[in-house]
Amino acid sequence: MSSLEVTDLSVRFGGHLAVGGVSLRVDGGRICGLIGPNGAGKTTTFNAICGVITPTSGRVVLDGRDVSKLSTHQRARVGIGRTFQRLEVFSSLTVRDNVRVGLEIRKGWSRRRAPAPAFLAGGADISPVDEVELILQRLQLTELADLPVGSLPTGQARLVELGLALAARPRVLLLDEPASGLDERETVDFGNLLVDLAGAGLGILLVEHDISLVMRVCEHLSVLDFGQVIAAGDPVAIRSNEAVLAAYLGAPAGDDELVGAAAIAEAAGHANGHGPGRGGAS
């Protein structure tokens, strides 16, 4: 089973420490959440794990191999997949062609070295053409396959982005606010899909403001505030953690009514653009 280990990761932008000594671990078959208020450093952590930005310090190890010196595309090839907070799809290309782009990422790798797409239940010997169709099917995109992605609503476009990421056969998948723009029903379906993917062996690190989704699908949570992990543990422990509530609410939690997932959810809603938040985040 795959594992991603991030150790003591720090990122400095000029004088600003955006990520300060973050350590976390994601094992295959598990969904781990990385949550925290706007500007806490979640996207920056993802960027450093993927090699989009060079961290000031820290190590990223995938399946026991230190990948810290690899380029972004090399990390994608060895199995670190991701989706983006600001949806990254090729709008003018069709749904099918977007998923095909994922195949390009792993080009140049022998079939033997590429991880088998166990989560697709297609077997290691599946042809690339069939694999794309299987991904479309699993994501319920088959009927939309010939449409340009730019013509689709956000919920479906986010699934296309996920399809592209899956076609690259990730071992560990980092999802940056994948449920933003999804309605309630789409969010529930999306959660079920993540559980299925993890059930088939994929490791998932989920950044998400929809706390009810996070609480439902994640086995383990790490909470970031001002670039540091202020709490880590199972969702039940996290939702009553005083430091976590204080980070979301901006003040120590004293009111019993505020304690619990609902309070975090409400606070996350505020931090997510409905209130003052921390600003400046992307």
39 binds, among Mg ion, ligand ADP, none (CB under 5 to 8 A by kind): ligand ADP
Instruction: List the single partner that 145 binds among Mg ion, ligand ADP, none, CB under 5 to 8 Å by kind.
Output: none
Does the footprint of ligand ADP cover residue 40 (CB under 6 A)?
A: yes
Which residues make Cβ contacts (< 8 Å) with residue 83, sequence separation at least 6? 158, 161, 162, 165, 173, 174, 175, 176, 178
Stretch that binds ligand ADP, among 41-49, 107-115, 208-216, 251-259 (CB under 6 A): 41-49
The answer to whether 39 contacts ligand ADP (rule: CB under 6 A) is yes
Radius of gyration of the chain (CA): 18
In the bound complex, what is the minimum distance in angstroms from residue 38's beta carbon to Mg ion? 7
Binding test (CB under 6 A) with ligand ADP, winner from 20, 28, 33, 36: 36
**Sequence-distant (≥ 6) Cβ neighbours of residue 275 within 8 angstroms:** 269
20 binds ligand ADP (CB under 6 A): no
221 near ligand ADP, rule: CB under 6 A = no
Any residues with CB less than 8 A from the CB of 39 and at least 6 apart, and which?
Answer: 277, 278, 279, 280, 281
Q: Is 43 in the site for Mg ion (CB under 5 A)?
A: yes
Among 2, 10, 44, 187, binds ligand ADP (CB under 6 A): 44
Residue 127 contact, options Mg ion, ligand ADP, none, Cβ 5-8 Å cut-off depending on partner type: none
> C-beta of 15: minimal distance to ligand ADP in Å?
10
Smallest distance from ligand ADP to CB 13, Å: 3
- Three-state secondary-structure class, residue 126: coil
13 binds ligand ADP (CB under 6 A): yes
Alpha helices in the chain (DSSP H): 42-50, 72-78, 95-105, 128-138, 154-167, 184-199, 211-217, 235-238, 242-249, 261-269
Distance of alpha carbon 229 from its chain centroid, rounded?
17
Please name which of 163, 4, 111 lies closest in space to residue 68, comparing C-alpha atoms: 4
Chosen from ligand ADP, Mg ion, none, partner binding at 280 (C-beta under 5 to 8 Å by type): ligand ADP
Token reading at 67: 């990948």
Residues that bind ligand ADP (CB under 6 A): 13, 16, 18, 36, 38-44, 280-282
Residues that bind Mg ion (CB under 5 A): 42-43, 85
